Chain A
Amino acid sequence: MASQTVTMPRVYEERGLLAWLTTVDHKRIGILYILGAGFFALIGGLEALLIRTQLAAPNNQVLVGEAYNQVLTMHGTTMVFLVVMPVLAGLGNYVIPLMIGARDMAYPRLNAFGVWMFLLGGLFLNLSFLLGGAPDAGWFGYAPLTVKTFSRGTGIDFWILGLQLLGISSITSSINFVSTILLLRAPGLSLNRLPLFAWTTLVTAFLILFAMPSISAALFLLFLDRHLGTHFFNPAAGGDPLLWQHLFWFFGHPEVYIMILPAMGIVSEILPVFSRKPLFGYTAVAYSSVAIGFIGFTVWAHHMFAVGLPDVVNAFFSAASMLVAVPTAIKVFNWIATIWGGAVRYQTPFLFAAAFVALFVIGGLSGLFLAAVPVDWQVTDTYFVVAHFHYTLFGGSMFAIVAGIYYWFPKITGRFLDERLGRWHFALQFIGFNMAFFPMHFLGLAGMPRRIYTYAPGLGWEGLNLLATVGAFILALGFVVFFVNVVRSLAVGTPAPADPWDGHTLEWLTSSPPPPYNFAHIPVVRSRRPVWDLKYTGNPHARPVVEIIEGDNRKEGEDAPEEPIHLPAPSIWPLVIAAGLTLFALGLVTHWIFAPFGVLLFALGIARWATQPLFPEAPGGH
């Protein structure tokens, strides 16, 4: 072949810490997101087990009062901001550029900044445990419990600034997803051929961009109330605690869709592949995601049916909340129709994806009770709600995330996760999950409120609570098996080819793992399932014409791309800027001395980032 003209900075060849700290490669950034989320999932999961241990019996003394409230708050905050959101961002980061035939995200250095901001923001939040106590007012932080009068410690300040840092991360990553998906698609990959995971990630990125400013503003006002004597949430001085709730839930409800839409996208990728059929009703599934995104901004006050809003207002939000069930039901029916008539292969990604559908349906249906205002007056703030949202966020998002990890693990690592361990993991997670969370529906109906650290015997709550606790430990055991599977498979897992699942989308065209530049030749797309159509020549009943398309699974240098590939230079400055912001936040909460150093680092990072060229000088020149 002709001359090799890949312009690749040397550091890409390097392993080791510095290569990771300076990476701007979307794949490495994706891995960092996923590993970071995995680390925080361990913390959040241990917090959940502490909660369940305390509630296993009435009048238990394992985790009492203040300590319980801290763990409760950090469990919720961690799972939302440090696990589900970043792991979805990580999978999106890794997979979406591959899926749409791009060589990287649109803004590689901004991308690196996003992941560092997430990791440091998460550490900053958890640092509160060591520095005077974690936040303790719930993940929703209702004022006035969070104002200085009622929360004197620094826990709430860690929470305010931690969420601001994480918000910055989410906003930058969303800008990147929007730009990448809209601008960097391969030739021929029109929006109506876009894979569903990219569709849902696009909608999610818009949701984040419109929802985040609301919580950022709310957190800012709360910080002013706490430290500069303003009274935005103080009714005695003309403020209003409900202002917090409106601002928070205007973010908080779209946040629910932020966590579920990409998960729905993952399932919409996996079910067709393992049924060997196209997604049933592609257009309906794509547009229903957009519809959920829009309606998602008109339902926030359904978290506030018991605050005394007028009937007409409650009725509006009730109707809007029920309306969300229409696009959601469309998806569920389309997923089932996708499996229907297929040639279904029971591999682990499929098991988790099918379980997602089964469990998400339960969460969706229990949501209807909460949308019906009079029923909500009874069950809101009870364990019925805890059951409901764990069916959507664990039975839903988490099952889909695990499905996605089993599905893309061979692509990311070049090795399969073990099928036998995968089945054990699935069985434990499915049984444990249902045992932990199904009884909570009944606890709520039996009058047990949420967020109580203890309860009296004789109210009929003992048996179901014990059952839930046993279930939680079985669920945890499932994740132990998962962890073992990951570690073992990384070392001795079966090597995976480029296209291990007989896939449909472009990520299966390149090697496993892909080269830094993803594709030597940018593929041209002519259908919704480019890789499938390559293999089966457009004749739906044909046998494969090629066993597996090896794509670019070639030794480097064997073949040359048709044109020079420019890859952005590695940079340490995204990390420096993120560290500066974190240090500044630390200064605001702990000792002011950190703040000027934070500002200095931030300014230095900005200046160097701005003056460092994005692309290094090409060695050969051209």
Chain B
Amino acid sequence: MKVSYAHMGTSVMAVNALARTLDYEIVPPTPPTESTLTLGVRHSPEFACIPFKIVLGTYIESLERGARLLVSGGGRGPCRAGYYGEMHRRILLDLGYEHEMLFFWPPLRSPLDFYRKLRTFKGAASWPRVYRALRLTWEKLMALDDLEIRSHRVRPLERCPGDTTRAFRRALGLVDAAETVEETKKARSGGLELLDSVPVYTGDPDDLVKIGVIGEIYVQLEPFANFRLEERLGELGAWVQRSIFLTNFARTDILQRGDQGVAKTAAPYLPENVGGHGQSSVGEIIQYAERGFDGVIQLAPFACIPEIVAKSIVPRLSREYNIPVMTLFIDEQTGEGGIQTRLEAFVDLLRARRRGRKDVDDAALSGS
């Protein structure tokens, strides 16, 4: 049975490797495009969030290419994403796509259910083989995250706009082609070298404007959903750090019950898990502020309740921790131009704050 899954940024390469090692014939999901979104929007309830719509569009594209088994997973806590597997399944059946949906809950929520699904998924493969497959997947995820983190550091200093993105794509190609743990390790270091050989301006990275990105996982990880936010910010000369990387997310949110540190930090402002990444967003703003970041961008699907709850606390956090926070709500109506203008203005704002009022004063006074 041909298998497919959602496309969430670079992680798809690791998932492809997992399914392949388990002897699945895969229909690798293609990166979402405008037509994916159009498909998803057409068949989704209007008030479903943008991740739901893009993922639905991706499923349809994969089913059209022959996929029959869809594998997905969903949230803990009161976020609608927990129902999305079932919703997607029914919509796709209504559309006439015969398929099966394997929807994983976090293992601790219902260990037995998780085990049963895992058994179904592993098929005839032996457990040692499953272990080897997971080992390779994990290695790939780490390599992908390391490359991405490095690209965020290199991009703001690149001499020629686009060089880092080109090198990053080549580096991803290396990781994708690797078939064993050893090869993945080699691909990782080869990829890092590619990124390190991008011609850059010398300068102290500490002088760069540092921006933390927080918010819902899908819009953080899928560049199509966030208008390639990290590339844009990097090209504006900002050093970006994202709060969610799959390798740390796997450790804190899938295997444990969320990041206790962040939850504790958020507790004075939001003592409850409001679902999704709402509580994390609150805690992460504080953590970024304490680590000396210049500003934070909150990414949220339009109508995402957990992020709306977090946003309502943002003005207070922003004041008390003296850190600017800009929220970008994303849906199918969001325009690229508006995002770019806001990002440029936000980077200008952070830079001006960093310099103090000196420059603007110079500008204002020399005119009079």
A binds B: no
